[in-house]
Structure 1
């Protein structure tokens, strides 16, 4: 279970983000904070894996929260906490500071909640893959950094659209068990060939997995499941 702390000075926004996190399988919210001081207290108390951190807080900036945590970690046992910045601050100096501080991504308000959901899914996949690695190859590193890259910066293969990616991903995510390309095609309202192309893309992206089921005769059946 990925433990998340939500930090935002706006109570309503914090509640919305909390609901998105709690709707994601494999995630739990360990606390909600509305100030930098409360954020640091809860980070040290709950030791979350991920902090959804607003930059604009009433008593200090989100950057100062990151720096304070890194400083305390350097003086004691390292605390493995990642930061996903969620803010309306567009100043490039702040963006640079967030990146230097180790933020895994920087989401600019306003954004659709689906963007947060997608980033959480990518973060979960990246963590799962890192936990599985002993030593990483260059290909492994490229894939991990690619998972955390902003979706808008990731070009889709020729002929694929983001709307259909979301459609097929939603069908696969909601499936209670492994499904074939034909089943995905029927539920998504697309052709089997189209479903197969998008399923292969999701597998290459690390959000889905393929398993071959071999029968007594004929070609093996391709079964897909959502792993994010």
Structure 2
């Protein structure tokens, strides 16, 4: 069984998330806490395998909790579950090593899929002395056994970051503007934006100015 600690400042939300986890075979909740300090203490005391971590906590940020868990707890895995949708928070969570990032509100099926994917990846890595690319893809959010959704060289985590920046923008963005907000390189961001256009998630507009090539502007379509 994968032992899970639920961390959320709202008692009712924590209870709902606990119920979701208990419905997924192979997972059990060992505790639910509502502050950052309690989360750090509970991880040390209960030794969970996985923490479902809210970002907005009443005492310290979930991002700070994440940093302290990395220093003090080491091996515990974390899935961020939060209403925070800004690019900076998502980027910091990714840098902190979260296994997944789930934006509230969400349905049971969303959490179930993430937990099952996580469990399959961990099990495969435990059984395999040397991982193959499919194992790595599965752990980092790829499809593993099936064809990847993203083109080669693009990652799910970075794609989610670009999507968040574009979706939350009040106006269209150039690749350079999107890259600046996401903290990525312009060249890399342009690849993700072009993929979103190709899949119908975004549209591109041409802005004609002075001499030279027109500027490509990207707008989220969803």
**Structure 1 residue 112: deviation in Å?**
1.2
2: CA distance between counterparts of 1:13 and 1:148?
29
- Please report the TM-score for the alignment, with normalisation by the length of structure 2: 0.62
Distance 1:56-1:46 versus aligned 2 partners, 3 A rule: same
Gaps of 5+ in 1: 74-78, 156-228
Contact 1:87 1:107 in 2 (8 A): yes
Q: Distance in 2 between matches of 1:122 and 1:8?
A: 22
Match of 2:46 in 1: 46
Of residues 87, 92, 98 in structure 1, which corresponds to 2:82? 87
Equivalent residue number for residue 11 of structure 1: 11
Q: Which ranges of structure 2 fall in alignment gaps of 5 or more residues?
A: 151-222
Distance 1:7 1:108, change over 3 A: same
Residue 41 of structure 1, CA deviation: 0.5
Q: Measure the CA separation in 2 of the matches of 1:53 and 1:47.
A: 15
Q: TM-score, normalised by structure 1?
A: 0.61
**How far 1:64 sits from its partner (Å)?**
0.5
Query: Would the aligned equivalents of 1:90 and 1:108 in 2 still touch at CA under 8 Å?
Result: yes
The alpha carbon displacement at 1:148 in A equals 7.8
What is the aligned partner in structure 2 of residue 70 from structure 1? 70
After superposition, the Cα gap between the structure-2 partners of 1:38 and 1:143, relative to the gap in structure 1 and judged at 3 Å, is: closer
Encode CA deviations 1:8-44: one digit per residue, 9 max, x unaligned.
0011110010011111111111110000010000001
Residue 196 (structure 2) aligns with: none
Change (3 A) 1:147 1:19: farther
| Structure 1 segments (4+ residues) deviating >3 Å | 146-149
* TM-superposed deviation, 1:144: 3.2
- CA displacement at 1:154 relative to structure 2: 4.1
Q: 1:148 to 1:34 in 2, by over 3 A?
A: farther
In 2, Cα distance between the equivalents of 1:57 and 1:103? 17
Structure 2 counterpart of 1:111: 106
Count of residue pairs the alignment pairs up: 147
Aligned alpha-carbon RMSD (Å): 1.9
